[in-house]
């Protein structure tokens, strides 16, 4: 039961900003939003996470709407190496009471020359 | 420092055989996770270890699947009597501190993933 929805695929020209949207309309008020990416044949790699304030690190920026029902991951200057599947994730509860990150199908970002 | 390592990187087996997949987490990481990724699908959570104990096994797809962790370090995922639908990439991840009990208020720490083991059941 995915708690996030993302477009299946997106294209971006090298050097341009890549803006990857994510809807998480059922997010609870104190749940974080996480972004990971998976380059072909590798394990997923953490990018960034946030609660309600916009966040920025060396990899990307995360913009979260005021109502927290959606967010956008921004890669400011996409390179060919940024071609990957990008996952937007909200924690989900397990039956035990613990929680885990549930990865949906993500967005396949293709960066072209 | 070394990252999460997994072995073997590829495993081809015949239907009905047992397989063991190994994960070496980052040294000092107390939490360890196993996921499965079938072709074209997202990651499916299997099991989580805190130290040597597994507080949640709810993701294991059947009783043919089991996992253990010894010494708070290496973990082994065992699949008995493999079936063709078990074919997938099995990913292991570790994190420095454990998953919180679900109260939504505590942020999970970053999970570091290994390269995965590609299992093919013929």
Q: What is the mean pLDDT of residues B32-36?
A: 93
- State how far the Cα of B39 lies from the Cα of B24, in Å rounded to an integer: 24
- State how far the Cα of A75 lies from the Cα of B104, in Å rounded to an integer: 27
Interface of B with A (CB under 8 A): 4, 33, 35, 40-43, 45, 48, 55-56, 58-59, 91, 93, 99-105, 107-108, 110-116
B101-120 residue pLDDT tens? 555 445 566 889 999 999 99
A46 touches chain B (CB under 8 A): yes
**Residues A47-57, buried b or exposed e (16+ Cβ, 10 A)?**
bbbbeeeebee
Q: Which residues from A are below 8 Å from B42, CB to CB?
A: 87, 102-106
Are the C-beta atoms of A54 and A39 separated by less than 8 Å? no
Q: What is the mean pLDDT of residues B14-39?
A: 94
> Do A100 and B110 count as a contact with CB atoms less than 8 A apart?
no
Q: Counting Cβ atoms within 10 Å, is residue B14 exposed (0-12), middle (13-18) or buried (19+)?
A: exposed
φ, ψ dihedrals at A81, nearest 5°:
-70, -10
Q: Which of A45, A100, A104 sits opposite B45 (nearest CB)?
A: A100
A63-112 residue pLDDT tens? 999 999 999 999 999 999 999 999 998 876 666 767 777 788 899 999 99
Q: Name the residue with tokens 């071609």.
A: A83
- State how far the Cα of A54 lies from the Cα of A13, in Å rounded to an integer: 24
If DSSP codes are grouped into helix, strand and coil, which group holds residue B84?
Answer: helix
B51-B55-B56 Cα angle (round to 5): 125
- State how far the Cα of A89 lies from the Cα of A91, in Å rounded to an integer: 7
Mode of pairing for the β-strands spanning B75-79 and B19-24: antiparallel
Question: Which pLDDT does position A1 carry in this prediction?
Answer: 46
At A2, the pLDDT band (50, 70, 90 cuts) reads low
- State how far the Cα of A112 lies from the Cα of B16, in Å rounded to an integer: 44
Residue B59 has pLDDT above 50, yes or no: yes
- Return left, alpha or beta for A104; rule: phi > 0 is left, psi -120 to 50 is alpha, else beta: beta
- State how far the Cα of B99 lies from the Cα of B107, in Å rounded to an integer: 9
Q: Which residues from B are below 8 Å from A46, CB to CB?
A: 110-112
At B26, the pLDDT band (50, 70, 90 cuts) reads very high
A101 touches chain B (CB under 8 A): yes
Question: Which pLDDT does position B119 carry in this prediction?
Answer: 97
Largest interatomic CA distance in chain B: 45
Are the C-beta atoms of B63 and B57 separated by less than 8 Å? no
């Amino acid at each position: 039961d995915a708690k996030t929805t993302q477009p299946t695929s997106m294209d971006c020209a090298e050097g341009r900003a890549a803006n990857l949207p994510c809807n998480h309309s059922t997010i609870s008020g104190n749940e974080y939003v996480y972004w990971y990416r998976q380059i072909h044949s590798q394990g997923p790699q953490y990018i960034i996470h946030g609660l309600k304030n916009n966040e920025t690190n060396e990899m990307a920026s995360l913009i979260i709407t005021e109502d927290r029902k959606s967010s956008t991951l921004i890669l400011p200057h996409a390179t060919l190496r940024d071609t990957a599947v990008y996952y937007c994730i909200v924690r989900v509860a397990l039956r035990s009471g613990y929680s885990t990150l549930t990865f949906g199908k993500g967005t396949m970002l293709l960066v072209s020359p | 420092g070394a990252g999460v390592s997994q072995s073997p990187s590829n495993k081809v087996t015949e239907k009905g055989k047992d397989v063991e997949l190994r994960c070496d987490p980052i040294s000092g990481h107390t939490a360890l996770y196993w996921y499965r990724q079938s072709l074209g699908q997202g990651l499916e959570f299997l099991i989580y270890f805190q130290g040597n104990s597994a507080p949640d096994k709810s993701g294991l797809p059947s009783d043919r699947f089991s996992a253990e962790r010894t010494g708070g370090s290496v973990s082994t995922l065992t699949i008995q009597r493999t079936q063709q639908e078990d074919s997938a990439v099995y990913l292991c991840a570790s994190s420095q501190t454990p998953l919180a009990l679900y109260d939504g208020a505590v942020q999970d720490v970053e999970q570091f993933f290994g390269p995965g083991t590609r299992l093919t059941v013929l």
